[in-house]
Amino acid sequence: MRLDINLASQPYEDARQFWMRWGAAVGGVALLTLILLTLDVTGWINARRDRAAIAEKEAMIADRDRLRAEAERILNLPQNRTTRDESQFLNELIERKAFSWTRVLENLEKVMPPRVHLESISPQLDEDNQLGLKMTVAGDSRDRALELARRMEESRRFAQTRVETGTYQQSTTGDTERFDIVAIYIPEPIPAAAPKAEIPPKTVEKPKTAAPKGTRH
């Protein structure tokens, strides 16, 4: 009688298959780590560049504010108040000349959503000599006013648009909400006047002189 006895102390394992599986897993983790590390370094570099750009802009703004404060201090001196008032008056005249009710209403008509209408509007100059508009509109919901502010902001004629206040009102016309909206109006550039055609100078004809008559002898 013959007996087959396995005298090995440990069972047989396929080491090649084991290392292939674990090697692929470790390689995937290493690749993912490399990608994340690359993204992290790239983000850090971009953030550093953005911080440098922001610091540069802030320095420019601070320098501008300093120059503006110094200019205002000089203009506020007693001996310069007349010049300051005249300059402000001229700036207001220039801004009002660029303001056109027809243009403003045409631009508002283009962005006005349905079931919203304008009740009142008033222009005013702010401290930066920008032409501001304060409007009161009426509609059936606050969403309409927000849509109007969004459309105005997306247009090229209005900026810094915001809804300030809203009130509820009872009305038989369907307008249950009234809102105050403020914005900066950007007038359309005034087209340059066409150059006038030069008129050639007229040629003045000299009067013909009669030939001297012969003298009789």
* Parallel, antiparallel or unpaired: strands 177-185 and 131-139: antiparallel
Give the chain's mean pLDDT: 76
| CATH fold group of domain 100-185 | Alpha-Beta Plaits (3.30.70)
For 166-207, how does the pLDDT look when each residue is reduced to its tens digit (9 = 90+)? 777 666 666 778 889 999 988 776 555 555 545 454 444 545
For 30-79, how does the pLDDT look when each residue is reduced to its tens digit (9 = 90+)? 888 888 888 888 888 888 888 888 988 889 999 988 988 888 888 778 87
Average pLDDT on 121-133 reads 78
Buried b (16+ CB within 10 A) or exposed e, 144-166: bbebbbebbeebebbeebeeeee
Q: Which residues contact 117 (CB under 8 A, 6 or more apart)?
A: 137, 138, 139, 175
Residue 204: per-residue pLDDT: 45
Q: Which residues contact 179 (CB under 8 A, 6 or more apart)?
A: 136, 137, 138, 139, 142, 145, 163, 164, 165, 166, 167
User: Is pLDDT larger for residue 51 or for residue 125?
Assistant: 51
Residue 83: per-residue pLDDT: 75
User: Is pLDDT larger for residue 163 or for residue 17?
Assistant: 163
Check if the beta carbon of residue 170 is closer than 8 Å to that of residue 176. yes
Residue 109 has pLDDT above 80, yes or no: yes
* Encoded amino acid at 133, one letter: L
